[in-house]
Amino acid sequence: MDKIKGIEIQEPSIVKFLSDVKGIAMTYMKKPIQVKAIELKERIRINTREGTLYGEVGDFLIEGIEGEVYPCGKKIFWKTYEEINHIPAPIKDEIEHFLRTGIPRCQVCRKDMVKESEYSWKTNCKHNKGLRISRL
């Protein structure tokens, strides 16, 4: 049982409580505010200003509009948010491969490129003969 301003709350609905205490309950819609989020691959513990929160595998870790970080369950996340910068699966796979290994691949046959120097790579297949990529 919670207490707010000396009033005991017995009804689980905060809307009913607010209607009784403050006046008429209204319906509101969330503003379309962009947040950054990442799907969790392992269980984590986060110390927030509300206390310690836990994120489970499959939950999302969200960075809010004021820089606050908090976990959100998968079902609630997908009911509340939608992806706005969708990356097609093949490109996402390439990005994940590069982030995991640091090695770019041929976009046709998916063979790893060969490192020429600290800053450049070349293809090792027939699809992009002579193609070289370099870091700036």
Tell me the three state secondary structure of residue 89.
helix
| pLDDT value of residue 102 | 82
- pLDDT tens digits, the chain, 136 residues: what are they? 444 455 554 555 666 665 556 566 678 888 888 888 999 989 999 888 888 899 999 999 998 888 888 999 999 999 999 888 777 777 778 788 888 888 888 777 778 888 887 777 777 777 666 555 655 4
Domain ranges of the chain: 1-30, 33-85, 89-134
The pLDDT of residue 79 is 92
How far apart (Å, rounded) are the C-alpha atoms in residues 134 and 116?
Answer: 10
DSSP letter string, 1-13 = -EEETTEEE-SS-
Can you give the pLDDT at residue 60? Answer: 94
